[in-house]
Chains A and B, each alone.
Chain A
Amino acid sequence: MMMQERKIKIVDTTLRDGEQSPGIVFSAQDKLRIAMALDQAGVDFIEAGVPIMGEEEQEAIKLILAASLQAKVIAWNRACKEDILASIACGCSLVHVSVPVSDLHIRQKMNKSREWVIAQLRESIALAHSFGCTVTVGAEDASRADMEYFLQVAEVAATMGAIHIRYADTVGCLTPFTVEAIFQQLIPRCSLPIEVHMHNDFGLATANTLVALDAGVTLASTTVAGIGERAGNASLDEVVMALHRLYDIHTGVDVRTFKTLSELVMQASQRKNFHYKPVIGDLFSC
């Protein structure tokens, strides 16, 4: 493997996509403790939650913002006014605006058109900017979308001043080989830095994330112990450990924190860590 001097940024979403795993409920205090532990571990961004969900969530996000962490705190939003205003009311200065990009999602879930999605995105970014916020954009179901449309959304986001775009494999259908082919094409043509957000439906989330990073992607979305919707997301612990040990690519994350970090998250999730889980399971000690 070639020596690489670049540094990968980790966007941890344990507190958003992780908590969306059915049955997991983090209290505001849980969220604060986990955010502080993630910050100490050295992740670059913490996706803290979805303010529009309600008062409990807003309280948690306010607590996290008040803790003055090194990591940048992100609030997740749909591309609509009420979501963004809820984030702003919490005092968030970095907001993530998510739009569906596959025709399947645009037509069957939203009953809208590609043009409508882009108009919503423009309005939402403009609204967030009018309050002085920085914006990241999420492309939901990108792996089943027309690549040209993803690029068009990225172009709009870039022109509007967003800082990076998330490519979400929402249903976990990519493989290491398709990932390599996709990002070799996308990276030179995409107007913004790309964050990959991989799901684990076939057990390939970690591998897909690593292959994308190896192909030149610069940001990776992860959750502690891989918790998340359905079979979960790419694991922070696996991705970082493999990057350091197998790819010689560096992150600012301290692998010595993984044991306590995962114990904290498992306890707050009221779940037990699987004995055979790589890196943090009892059988594998870091």
Chain B
Amino acid sequence: MIWVDQTLREGLRIGMDRGKIDSVVKLLQHLQVWMIDVNGKDWHKYNLPSLTTLQKKQLRVRVNETVEELECAYEVGFEKFIFACTLTPGGDLTPPMNALAWAAEKREVNIGLCIENASDFSLAEIEGLWRAVSTMGVTTFIYSDGYSRLNPLSTFKILTSLREKMPIALEFHAHNAYGLATANAFGAMQAGVKYIATAVAGVGVQGQAAMEEVMMIQKRLLGKKNLETETLSYSCSKILSSIGVKLPATKAIIGEDIFAHESGIHVDGVLKNPQLYEIFPPEEVGATRKLVLGKHSGTASIQAKLQQRNIVLSDVDAQCLLKQVRRLAVIHKKAIEDEMLWKMYQDWVV
């Protein structure tokens, strides 16, 4: 599977610190992400000097189909290009021929054609469009669901059919207006598509498939058990902070609270066997489990917390303390810290 990063592109759009670009590229490399998209216009906005060797190798530039923009990107050293175009449904489906002709002359460059609103067209229309450009040196065809029209099953059907008919590298860009981007990317993966666009936490203007989710889906649900994911939480949160986005604590896979358990039934279960309420262990993504005390706690949490201080509490006593913990959580409208429990216990023993 080749993941095509869209996180840096969003970072540049929202004005990330230019000094952090290379560290994001390196963090992505560490996660085995070797292709990183940026928008030509945003890149130029930063007035950066020519591309470094690292950047030349990893970055791919998105331009709209004007030749000026292309030349501009070519001059600073980009070697991989995407022509991104939105076509008019019902109109004449003309791909960006000028740009393609320009690119065809520069044979050393790598060219992808992205139809931003591909899901607005029938399969026959997409195939017709492909035939029109197949002689122009396009190396990758990018099917983008720009307006989030697809669901996972329709994505699977469309891409299965396109793969049969188009002998070219096929790439899929999911979007997230309805929260389906990850599932749609998964549909494309199931259809055998090898190039999948993703962004950490799904960040992006129309939303993207979340990188950490598709990676763990590949590992856990599609059986690629040997994928190394022990640094996933760390790398993803570092990438997000580098571009200036705060990660929500409950973000699937990488949020800092997704292995925090509070409710009585869950804590009791996790203490007996974590698999009861965790589909993978926290260590697998480099996270740690937490037991949180609050309104929903049960006696098992109280007993487990005091056990850490070598105190064995009977069920009846734990029940007594639990009532106080719950009441306090409601009054303060938040979880109870371990120190607070300890203080409550000491007051209560006296």
Does A274 make an interface contact (CB < 8 A)? yes
Q: Which of A187-218 contact B (CB under 8 A)?
A: 200-204, 206-208, 210-211, 214
B-chain residues with CB within 8 Å of residue A229 when the two chains form the complex? 261, 263, 266, 277
Query: Known: A56-B295, A175-B186. Is A22-B269 also a contact (CB below 8 A)?
Result: no
Count contacts on B: residues with CB < 8 A to the other chain. 68
Q: A203-B182, A211-B153 are in contact. Are A23 and B335 (CB under 8 A)?
A: yes
Whether B278 contacts A171 by the Cβ 8 Å rule is yes
Which residues of the partner chain A approach B257 to less than 8 Å between Cβ atoms?
Answer: 21-23, 230
Closest to B152 in A: A176
A19 lies within 8 A of B296 (CB): yes
Q: Is the CB of A276 within 8 A of B180?
A: no
A-B contact count (CB 8 A): 195
Q: A202 and B217: CB pair below 8 A?
A: yes
| B152 and A231 form a contact (CB under 8 A) | no
Which residues of chain A in 243-286 are interfacial with respect to chain B, using CB atoms and an 8 Å cutoff? 245-247, 270-272, 274-276, 278-279, 283-284
Contacting pair A270 B333 (CB below 8 A): yes
Question: Would you call the interface of chain A mostly helix, strand, loop, or mixed?
Answer: loop
Number of A residues near B (Cβ < 8 Å) is 60
Chain B residue contacts of A247, Cβ below 8 A = 151
Contact with A along B261-293 (1 / 0, CB 8 A): 111011011001101111100000000001010
Residues of A close to B11: CB separation below 8 A: none
Determine which of A54, A109, A172 lies in contact with B268 in the assembled complex, contact meaning CB atoms within 8 Å: A109
Interface contact A108-B276, CB-CB below 8 Å: yes
Which of B178, B261, B263, B294 has the largest number of chain A CB atoms within 10 A? B178
- B205: chain A residues at CB < 8 Å are 283
Set of chain A residues within 8 Å of B202, measured between Cβ atoms: 203, 276
Closest to A98 in B: B265
The digit string for A169-183, where 1 denotes a CB below 8 A from any CB of B, is 011110111001000
Known: A276-B202, A279-B179. Contact between A104 and B276, CB under 8 A?
yes
Q: Is the CB of A63 closer than 8 A to any CB of chain B?
A: no
Give the contacts of A18-41 with B (CB-CB under 8 A). 19-23, 25, 27
Q: How far is the CA of A53 from the CA of B248 in the complex (A)?
A: 28
Binds A, one of B20-28, B101-109, B120-128, B321-329: B321-329
Q: What's the nearest-Cβ distance from chain A to residue B141, in Å?
A: 24
State which residues 71-101 of A face B: CB under 8 Å.
78
Tell me if B40 counts as interface (CB < 8 A to partner A): no
Give B78 Cβ to nearest chain A Cβ, in Å. 27
Q: Which residues of A contact B272 (CB under 8 A)?
A: 108-109
Cβ of B39 < 8 Å from any Cβ of A? no
Give the Cβ gap from A22 to chain B, nearest Cβ, in Å: 4
Q: Which residues of B contact A27 (CB under 8 A)?
A: 330, 333
Measured between beta carbons, the chain B residues less than 8 angstroms from A284 are 177, 207
Chain B residue numbers with a CB within 8 Å of A177 are: 152-153, 156, 190
CA distance A227 to B207 in the complex (A): 19
A241 on the B face (CB < 8 A): yes
In the complex the two chains form, what is the Cα distance from A58 to B330 in whole Å? 13
B256–chain A nearest beta-carbon distance, Å: 11
CA distance A171 to B261 in the complex (A): 13
Task: Flag if B221 contacts A175 (CB, 8 Å).
Answer: yes
Closest-CB distance, B180 to chain A (whole angstroms): 5
Residues B151 and A171 in contact, CB atoms below 8 Å apart: no
Pairwise interchain contact A108-B323, C-beta atoms closer than 8 A: no
B77 within 8 A of A: no
Please measure, in the bound complex, the distance between the C-alpha atom of A78 and the C-alpha atom of B332, giving whole angstroms. 27
Using known A-B contacts A108-B276, A175-B186, determine if residue A246 contacts B335 with beta carbons closer than 8 Å.
Answer: no
Closest to B275 in A: A104
Assembled-state Cα–Cα distance A204/B269 (Å): 24
Beta-carbon contacts under 8 Å, B180-205 to A:
180, 182-184, 186-187, 190, 201-205
* Chain B residues close to A by CB (< 8 Å): 149, 151-153, 156, 176-180, 182-184, 186-187, 190, 201-205, 207, 210, 213, 216-217, 220-221, 245, 248-253, 255, 257-263, 265-266, 268-269, 272-273, 275-279, 290, 292, 294-296, 323, 326-327, 329-330, 332-335
The 4 lowest CB-CB distance pairs between A and B, nearest first, are: A207-B183, A238-B179, A203-B213, A231-B252
Could you pull out 18 A-B pairs where Cβ atoms are within 8 angstroms?
A20-B262, A20-B296, A22-B292, A53-B296, A57-B295, A78-B265, A171-B279, A175-B186, A175-B217, A202-B213, A202-B253, A206-B183, A207-B179, A207-B182, A242-B178, A276-B202, A276-B204, A278-B179
